[in-house]
Structure 1
């Protein structure tokens, strides 16, 4: 009270605004980010966030690397108005820690059970020795030796699994502590930066623990023998026929927590028949589809040499006549698409305005014929080749070509015999092989591949990356869309009401897919809502 009276007494204090102390919000204390708020490339403070690329950037990055992006905002602004995702990160890390703890628990239990089983073998042999003296002494040494050999081999694997998952627990715990500290003491901007920087780390950690959970096994050793004894002089194995068995099994308790990939559900939104119009030379054949960021659908008509635009109701709102038969199309930005020519050595770039006017911007000359095309990152495409042993290549937006570090089989795909796409989060290339009825998943980092063969995969066509990086494949033989996990597990199959599905694409937010087909006289274009 005395303090407030003083402000009334002195003239220079009369304009001071007085508020109740309890109403004052504590100012966030600056938190030491230990370099997390610094740009890796320019060592500048991260002040901006590119909503197009979904990544924080410094002033230099914003000017140099994101000048073509449509939405680059100050982190301080978006951090204040965006809901924090720290709770999601914490939930993921807690889930990772719990699963890793489960692996540690069961590897520990398996080690104990292994010791117990090996001891039981000896006890069983000792009971037998009461009736058959020296013979069972020899038997014990022989069987115990093999059991110890099993134990030694298996313990090495279990010890490594145990150690790896203790590290996962430590990493998850450390990350949780960092999140809590920043959440309690950091500014909103620091919280936002930390969350963005840790997403990839959490994703990799989650993937590692998921794999460990899927490979979780209990190891047991059992001893069995034929009680009908044979007479000497024979070897110990002839005296008592026996078998030492090493068995791997999944504990019932663990089966309930073993992670499964989410199953995608498709609900049809709308469908149109593709009919020949007055200015068409034949029935439309859409060889390439992709969505613009605003939800408009771009289609290329291989038969009639056109690029077309559809709205969310599948109403045609734009059209552009090409001089060649286009094959693949990909949205490069809000108002730009790239088109491959299949049989020609070029990639065309077209501008698609908000008012649906289409104009040719430029043409990039290339040295290889390409059909399917998708974005690898903000500067490069992943393209499928035609009649080339390098089945998939990288092409920059300026036309520079280079190869993946992949050992492709020595074969060539004619046009229309394969389609490709790219899983950005895990750096994997996906390729369909119509002749072999297979889907190939290449891991770029390890230069390994998974060959997916299944009764549900017969004559695979177009391919796209959906929710949780699942792979959506058009299957001609069964008129369906098959969902495959990034690791190669066939998850589900959705029957379509169209014959010979050919091309599929998905919106940027992974909520809607478009599918078209090739059967003459029954060609359709359909939209589906994607849910779990």
Structure 2
């Protein structure tokens, strides 16, 4: 065998290959013994090239009978042993994986095959099926490609998210700096605006004070001159002359005394102060809305002056009667009175928003008349002895109804208008003042024939949705009062000077209805604390009367200023009440 190997052996090195010579491989077992023998077969299990003599051992041992031998000539090169890094070993027994259970689609070592799969019908050696043409590899590669694509998408978006996060964090600083610039500009604008308002107020007030001073100085001069005249006649005149002078001077002195008393009653200390609001609002709101403070004009009585009569007397309210507003047989819903006013003869006219009605009550709050409307009314005002005007919550019109002495109600006419109205009150014999719904013109003037126009006052750039504001008009001083439920504020606009007073107080929470009371004081429904609040025209809160009903909503005052009526807005416990007014 050695000679055979000696005669036929060829060098296996590629460098020594000779053209036309067949490349031969040596038997590895022989080579380990120092022999050079040509290999005849290759055993993949033994992982060796063997000559025929060495390969006969496969016939000797039964466990080697299943080793697969192939002709060495068919093996161009010895398969390289690949390090599977433990993947070819059983996780449980740490043995080589040699079998595959086709029933359970599971790899097995020899122990697994005997212990766990002996009842299975198809357990085969891996080497026997490893060469089968199957699509598993292509399927695995396709799935791995899909996994890789999805993971790359995650990486892409994660990178994008990180970049966006970095950008956003930097933008925070930019926004803060921009906000700081806006705040600085806001304060600059605020300084100019407030200084302008304060200067305007000072100029107007100076003129009034100067006139008051001039009038009083003239009163001093007149009183001094009258003193001298009386003394001279008393010293030098006859009794008849003295008597005549005293009679003639009596009327002059009474008139002078009355004028001075009036001046004393209106003595006020005028101050201007600026206080910051609790909430700082920023652009892009208009400056009137976002300024972090409000110029407040205050008037107070000087402590060293005792007026002859009390200034701004406090209104006292006493309950007369009260009724519960309950659903009756012809009502489809629980009554909700959104408007009420007194007729000149003392009867109370109301509108029921939910049931679309206009109703009349007498002085005992007994219902004496009713009229069915085709729409939801919002407010009502008496415009004459037997005529009322009604606004609609969602229609552009104003209805005028006749209310007869016998409590019959009939529709007289309907005026088409360009604005939706909520509250309504009288301005003069031919005009009404209306509070608008969802319009920047918060208050408007409308004639009895439906012609509309605006007040010449600067209003805030804001719209009031239904149920968030109401207005009234003070005829003697030409002022409009507007409530702002959401901001707990009452605005008093002076039409002549185009100025306003802003009233905020702990006793004013969610103000809704508003009316003009005795001596032109302002009566406001403070819904949140269930009361009627009295405010002077200069913005001083004078008193607060706690009602025995929750959530006061609308208020009206009789024409002789002796009675008020109040209704509320609470489901299930709605009331209508009359109260007597005393000073």
Deviation of the 1:162 alpha carbon: 3.7
Structure 2 residue corresponding to 1:365, chosen from 416, 433, 458: 416
Distance 1:349 1:159, change over 3 A: closer
CA contact (8 A) 2:268 2:301 kept: no
- Structure 2 residue ranges without an equivalent (≥5): 1-205, 225-246, 249-256, 272-299
Deviation of the 1:253 alpha carbon: 3.9
Q: Which residue of 2 aligns with 1:312?
A: 363
Give yes or no for the alignment of 1:512 onto 2:563: yes
Return the alpha-carbon distance in structure 1 between the equivalents of residues 469 and 326 of structure 2. 26
CA contact (8 A) 1:421 1:430 kept: yes
Deviation of the 1:168 alpha carbon: 6.8
Q: Which residue of 2 aligns with 1:498?
A: 549
Q: Which residue of 2 aligns with 1:457?
A: 508
Q: Which residue of 2 aligns with 1:321?
A: 372
What SS does the aligned partner of 1:165 have? helix
Deviation of the 1:171 alpha carbon: 10
Deviation of the 1:215 alpha carbon: 1.6
What SS does the aligned partner of 2:318 have? strand
Return the alpha-carbon distance in structure 1 between the equivalents of residues 463 and 325 of structure 2. 32
Q: Which of 1 and 2 has greater Rg?
A: 2
CA contact (8 A) 1:168 1:209 kept: no
Distance 1:157 1:309, change over 3 A: closer
CA contact (8 A) 1:214 1:258 kept: no
Give yes or no for the alignment of 1:469 onto 2:520: yes
Deviation of the 1:452 alpha carbon: 0.3
Return the alpha-carbon distance in structure 1 between the equivalents of residues 207 and 349 of structure 2. 55
Give yes or no for the alignment of 1:431 onto 2:485: no
Q: Which residue of 1 aligns with 2:395?
A: 344
Greater RCO, CA 8 A, separation 6+: 1
Give yes or no for the alignment of 1:353 onto 2:404: yes
Return the alpha-carbon distance in structure 1 between the equivalents of residues 439 and 259 of structure 2. 34
Q: Which residue of 1 aligns with 2:577?
A: 526
Give yes or no for the alignment of 1:287 onto 2:311: no
TM-score, with length taken from structure 2: 0.52
Return the alpha-carbon distance in structure 2 between the equivalents of residues 376 and 156 of structure 1. 28
Return the alpha-carbon distance in structure 2 between the equivalents of residues 156 and 327 of structure 1. 42
Q: Matches of residues 440-451 of structure 1 in structure 2 within 5 Å?
A: 440-451=491-502
Distance 1:381 1:252, change over 3 A: closer
Q: Which residue of 2 aligns with 1:269?
A: 320
Distance 1:207 1:480, change over 3 A: farther
TM-score, with length taken from structure 1: 0.56
Structure 1 residue corresponding to 2:534, chosen from 455, 475, 483: 483
Deviation of the 1:476 alpha carbon: 0.8
Return the alpha-carbon distance in structure 2 between the equivalents of residues 512 and 315 of structure 1. 16
Backbone CA RMSD of aligned residues = 3.2
What SS does the aligned partner of 1:499 have? coil
CA contact (8 A) 2:528 2:551 kept: yes
Give yes or no for the alignment of 1:419 onto 2:490: no
Deviation of the 1:216 alpha carbon: 8.1
Q: Matches of residues 102-181 of structure 1 in structure 2 within 5 Å?
A: 162-167=213-218
Q: Which residue of 1 aligns with 2:384?
A: 333
Deviation of the 1:260 alpha carbon: 2.6
Deviation of the 1:250 alpha carbon: 8.7
Return the alpha-carbon distance in structure 2 between the equivalents of residues 156 and 440 of structure 1. 24
Distance 1:170 1:281, change over 3 A: farther
Runs of 4+ in 1 over 6 A off after TM superposition: 155-161, 168-173, 202-208
What SS does the aligned partner of 1:261 have? coil
CA contact (8 A) 1:274 1:525 kept: yes
Deviation of the 1:278 alpha carbon: 1.2
CA contact (8 A) 1:294 1:334 kept: yes
- Structure 1 residue ranges without an equivalent (≥5): 1-154, 174-183, 186-201, 218-248
Q: Which residue of 2 aligns with 1:13?
A: none
Deviation of the 1:254 alpha carbon: 1.9
What SS does the aligned partner of 1:510 have? coil
Return the alpha-carbon distance in structure 1 between the equivalents of residues 463 and 333 of structure 2. 30
Return the alpha-carbon distance in structure 2 between the equivalents of residues 466 and 349 of structure 1. 25
What SS does the aligned partner of 2:414 have? strand
Distance 1:256 1:390, change over 3 A: same
Return the alpha-carbon distance in structure 2 between the equivalents of residues 409 and 293 of structure 1. 35
Q: Which residue of 1 aligns with 2:269?
A: 215
Distance 1:379 1:498, change over 3 A: same
Distance 1:160 1:364, change over 3 A: closer
Task: Give the count of matched residue pairs.
Answer: 321
Distance 1:160 1:268, change over 3 A: closer
Q: Matches of residues 61-100 of structure 1 in structure 2 within 5 Å?
A: none
